[in-house]
Amino acid sequence: MNELAIQVNGLQKKFGNQMVLEGINFTVQKGEIFALLGPNGAGKTTLINILSTLAEPDAGDALINGLDIKSNKEKVKSSISLTGQFAAVDEMLTGTENLQMMGRLSGLSALEARSRGKKLLQQFDLTAVAQKRVKTYSGGMRRRLDLAVSLVVPRPIIFLDEPTTGLDSRSRRELWDIILQLAREGVTIFLTTQYLEEADQLADTIAVISKGRIVATGTPEEMKSRIGKEMVELRNDKDEIIHEIPTSGRIEDIRQIIEDIASGVPEGTRMSIRRPSLDDVFLSLTSEKEGS
């Protein structure tokens, strides 16, 4: 019981007539990285807003660190930190000023806030731009500051709403390293993403959300094993996929496939074998859902 960071029970939210969350259930273990994976409009931000006390659910309840989000709002706020979808930093202030402001607001003394800010700027490789206004920062720098700001006072649970959306791949990797490092320090991380690769790289547990419902939950490996098999991929001479065939990966099977298709494919077709990606899982899950 005590090992749960987040418990969500039958959470519902409606905007007007539209059901945005249709009864969400899941649990997050302490110290894990939990990724909520889904396309735009699936309800990810609404869910994160409810869990971080910004919005109230219409039905159902949720416990953060064992505290009810409705009846214990203020205490919940002391257990969490939220980094929203768009960098939540003050553009008119410098990096240093942003960190000191948040430090003071979190109850640090002026002196503590200053030294904590300095440390975080170092840790997040922002010392060189510390005295520059955030307005002049690149997207990656802004995101790093954003994350640094949310760590001014260590909180046991951190919410990250699409932390790498809009970043180039290098900045994305840097941010991943930071998130993994945090998790190693024992922080529980709840993040949303629309990138399957991101969930695969970071998460201990993935929940796939589609149209306001959790359609699957499990480790990345479990997710992949839902499709189970390796895929034989056939590409034409323009490198477009023309056919995908699930296989066990055993020589006999592959020989059989080649025999089956060899005569029917156009000249220049190439064949490769790959492990199923989360894309396959995702597509199969969401299309199952739509089909039913």
Partner 1 sequence: MLENQMQKTSALITTMVFIRRSVLHSLRNVDALIMAIALPIMLMLLFTYVFGGAIDSSGHYVNYVVPGIILLCAGFGSSSTAVDVATDMMNGIIDRFRTMPIQSINVITGHVVASLARNLLATGVVIIIGLLVGFHPNASILSWCAAVGMIGLFILAFTWLFAAIGLVAGNPAAASSYGFVLLFLPYLSSAFVPINTMPKWLQGIAENQPITPVIETIRALLMGGEVTNHIGLAVGWCLLILVVSIYWSTLTFKRKAGRR
Binding site for partner 1 (CB under 8 A): 49, 52-55, 74, 77-78, 80-90, 92-93, 97, 101-102, 104-107, 133, 149-150
**Minimum distance from residue 140 beta carbon to partner 1 (Å):** 17
The DSSP secondary-structure symbol of 125 reads T
- Nearer of residues 102 and 199 to partner 1, judged by Cβ: 102
**Minimum distance from residue 2 beta carbon to partner 1 (Å):** 22
- Nearer of residues 88 and 254 to partner 1, judged by Cβ: 88
Q: List beta partners, residue 273.
A: 232
- Nearer of residues 87 and 216 to partner 1, judged by Cβ: 87
**Minimum distance from residue 92 beta carbon to partner 1 (Å):** 5
Sheet strands (E) in the chain: 4-15, 18-29, 33-37, 59-64, 67-68, 80-83, 157-161, 188-193, 205-210, 213-218, 230-235, 241-247, 270-274
Is residue 234 a contact partner of residue 261, using CB atoms and an 8 Å limit? yes
**Minimum distance from residue 90 beta carbon to partner 1 (Å):** 6
- The secondary element (H helix, E strand) that includes residue 136 is none
Helix axes 95-105, 139-150, angle to 10 degrees: 20
- Nearer of residues 106 and 247 to partner 1, judged by Cβ: 106
Q: How would you list the strands of the sheet with 230-235, edge to edge?
A: 241-247, 230-235, 270-274
**Minimum distance from residue 121 beta carbon to partner 1 (Å):** 18
Which residue shows structure tokens 């955030």? 134
Burial class from Cβ neighbours inside 10 Å (0-12, 13-18, 19+) for residue 187 reads: buried
- Nearer of residues 160 and 285 to partner 1, judged by Cβ: 160
**Minimum distance from residue 114 beta carbon to partner 1 (Å):** 14
- Nearer of residues 35 and 47 to partner 1, judged by Cβ: 47
Q: Can you tell me the distance from the alpha carbon of 243 to that of 235, in angstroms, rounded to the nearest whole number?
A: 7
